[in-house]
């Protein structure tokens, strides 16, 4: 391959930052990760990122020159290149495009991480050829990217598709957005832990969950106990799936999508989550859409869809840095 045929996709997450060197066929030919949270200030993070960009471009002792860099990040604003004070990053509001541009002479585009996932699915994933679909990422929160008539929906202010903040429970759990009852306080890795503790308080069943402290429990631990047959752990996923299915039924009437594609750490819970979700969806979806919306997990491994989607922005976007 010629150098001009490579792009770099970067997915900045609260825990890890992943980089991928992407070829013209949308294949991630090389991938790297480093800890986001270990870089306490933004200067440290940018240095680490620049070093990683050089490293990922080294192929057979030769540094390739990619055509550009696409960055996916939480609370990212596409036009401005900003990352706006997201809850799970440490640096407040930063202009990631400007900061990186000082050290790397390449066009840089920035996109919201959930939208990057949707683009990755649209261009290279299971949504290829679809005109209407929703990609949902279940991680620390619930992110979504919505594609209608073949295009990503941004809305008047760039907030379209923030489905994690649909209120599903009046006076429900407090959310990071400062309101109560948002679906991501129930349907996310943190939501699963909150539900597990609610069940422990309300039920008397013996459970290994009771050995965990609130600050140490993870959705993965709840999953491992569900596999062992722990009643409360299984019930936790049933409750999560029931709420998720209702939310997806509302998503279905909002956009009439061909498919809803699920990704993110919580999807690793597999049938424990998927089965009650589909059951609840089928019970709650409007009759005219029953059987018309396919709901399935992504084929991509973690962060791959975001990397591919972000890198694909280089084709269609005028680089933020040149605006």
Contact between 285 and Zn ion (CB under 5 A)? no
- Return the residue of 126, 182, 274, 310 that touches Zn ion, per CB under 5 A: 182
Contact present, 278 and 154 (Cβ < 8 Å): no
User: What does the per-residue mask of binding to Zn ion show for 108-147, with x meaning CB under 5 A?
Assistant: ----------------------------------------
In this complex, which beta carbon is closest to Zn ion, that of residue 176 or of residue 297?
Answer: 176
The partner residues of 174 in beta bridges, in order of sequence, read 180
In this complex, which beta carbon is closest to Zn ion, that of residue 59 or of residue 177?
Answer: 177
| CB 176, min distance to Zn ion, A | 6
Contact present, 298 and 126 (Cβ < 8 Å): yes
| CB 84, min distance to Zn ion, A | 15
Hunting for tokens 């973690």 — which residue is that? 302
In this complex, which beta carbon is closest to Zn ion, that of residue 29 or of residue 87?
Answer: 87
Q: CA-to-CA distance for 235 and 249, rounded, in angstroms?
A: 21
Contact present, 108 and 235 (Cβ < 8 Å): no
Q: CA-to-CA distance for 171 and 104, rounded, in angstroms?
A: 48
Contact present, 21 and 6 (Cβ < 8 Å): yes
The contacts of residue 122 (CB under 8 Å, 6+ apart) are 128, 130, 133, 147, 150, 152, 309
- Contact stretch for Zn ion (CB under 5 A) within 3-11, 153-161, 179-187, 234-242: 179-187
Contact between 177 and Zn ion (CB under 5 A)? yes
In this complex, which beta carbon is closest to Zn ion, that of residue 143 or of residue 145?
Answer: 143
In this complex, which beta carbon is closest to Zn ion, that of residue 117 or of residue 182?
Answer: 182
Q: CA-to-CA distance for 99 and 81, rounded, in angstroms?
A: 10
| CB 167, min distance to Zn ion, A | 8
| CB 113, min distance to Zn ion, A | 17
Strands of the 28-35 sheet, one edge to the other: 28-35, 16-22, 7-12, 69-73, 108-112
| CB 74, min distance to Zn ion, A | 14
- Return the residue of 22, 175, 226, 317 that touches Zn ion, per CB under 5 A: 175
In this complex, which beta carbon is closest to Zn ion, that of residue 7 or of residue 165?
Answer: 165
Cβ neighbours, 10 Å, residue 46: 19
User: What does the per-residue mask of binding to Zn ion show for 144-173, with x meaning CB under 5 A?
Assistant: ---------------------x--------
**Contact residues: Zn ion, CB under 5 A:** 165, 175, 177, 182
């Amino acid at each position: 391959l010629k150098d001009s045929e490579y792009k770099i996709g970067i997915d900045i997450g609260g825990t890890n930052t992943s980089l991928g060197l992407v070829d013209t066929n949308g294949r991630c030919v090389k991938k790297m990760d480093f800890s986001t949270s270990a870089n306490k200030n933004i200067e440290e993070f940018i240095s680490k990122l620049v070093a990683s960009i050089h490293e990922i471009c080294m192929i057979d002792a030769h540094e390739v020159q990619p055509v550009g860099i696409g960055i996916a990040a939480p609370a990212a604003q596409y036009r401005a290149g900003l990352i706006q004070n997201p809850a799970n990053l440490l640096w407040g509001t930063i202009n990631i495009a400007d900061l990186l541009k000082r050290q790397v002479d390449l066009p840089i585009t920035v996109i919201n991480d959930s939208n990057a996932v949707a683009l990755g699915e649209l261009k290279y994933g299971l949504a290829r050829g679809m005109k209407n679909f929703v990609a949902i990422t279940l991680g620390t929160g619930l992110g979504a990217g919505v594609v209608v008539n073949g295009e990503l929906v941004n809305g008047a202010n760039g907030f379209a598709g923030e489905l994690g903040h649909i209120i599903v429970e009046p006076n429900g759990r407090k959310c990071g957005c400062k309101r109560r009852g948002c679906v991501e306080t129930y349907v996310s890795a943190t939501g699963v832990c909150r539900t597990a503790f609610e069940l422990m308080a309300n039920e008397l069943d013996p459970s290994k969950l009771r050995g965990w402290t609130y600050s140490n429990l993870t959705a993965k631990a709840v999953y491992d106990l569900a596999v062992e047959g722990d009643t409360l752990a299984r019930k936790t996923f049933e409750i999560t799936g029931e709420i998720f299915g209702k939310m997806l039924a509302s998503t279905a009437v909002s956009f009439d999508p061909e498919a809803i594609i699920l990704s993110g750490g919580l999807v690793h819970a597999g049938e424990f989550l998927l089965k009650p979700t589909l059951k609840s969806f089928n019970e709650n979806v409007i009759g005219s859409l029953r059987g018309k919306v396919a709901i399935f997990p992504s084929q991509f491994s973690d962060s791959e869809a975001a990397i591919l989607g972000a890198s694909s922005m280089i084709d269609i976007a005028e680089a933020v840095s040149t605006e």
